[in-house]
Amino acid sequence: MTYETILVATDGPVGIITLNRPEALNALNRQITSELSHAAAALDADGAIGAIVVTGSDKAFAAGADIKEIKDKTFAEVYEEQLITSTWEGLSRVRKPTIAAVSGHAIGGGCELALMCDIIVASQKARFALPETTIGIIPGAGGTQRLTRIVGKAVAMDMILTGRALSAQEAHGLGLVSRVVPAGTHVSEAVTLATRIAASSQPIVRLAKEAVNKAYETHLQEGLYLERRLLYATFALDDRREGMNAFAEKRRPDFRNR
């Protein structure tokens, strides 16, 4: 597929999706979210890809939803079109590990897009905010739910009700960001991290991701039950046997993704 608002590349086993609407600071309209979802699904289905990096520009990861596209819509229109959910949620359904490499503004929908990823690597210049209430709406792509689960009720209320932005360092301290790196290195650092993840067995990494997401989404006992079942499932994999044998033999494992 030919894309107009994103760039798609690969670096060894890593897929890289770059948001590419520089004239709009990568504001998220139906076209860019549709293309992003399509590209993410294609990379997820590609057996040669082990992890996916999503990034924007140095100035803006993504500056929120494209207000020009939605400002005149009625309730009936957004309900019928399933605004947001119909095209935005594709990234959250990817089974392979996803890493957001963020620099500059991750505002509104841009912040929510980063929150859909499994890991966020942030440049020192990154800023995270959900300022929707300041223009008369609320976050609608998971911001009220994902942010609250990560940073807690008090900080989420502060950010969402006031529009307050977090610096990269503040976001790291609250657990929103995994790593803060020097300006200009966020993409290379994310690709290095993704390459390391992709070197492991793909089915085992997917099982681990599923288990962590269950902890994020449900209560402890249900999460522990799923974790045990997924652990037992790894014993059906050749890669589990190879990994343990390699450890015992003090050598690097040769994973075959099966």
Catalytic residues: 65, 109, 112, 132
Alpha carbons within 13 angstroms on the beta-carbon side of residue 41 total 12
For tokens 């309730």, what's the residue? 75
How far apart are alpha carbons 190 and 151 in whole angstroms? 22
**Cβ distance 213 to 222 under 8 Å?**
no
Closest CA to 123 of 65, 59, 213: 59
For tokens 């699904």, what's the residue? 41
Would you state the torsion angle of the CA atoms of residues 61, 112, 197, 86, taken in this order, to the nearest 10 degrees? -110
**Cβ distance 255 to 242 under 8 Å?**
yes
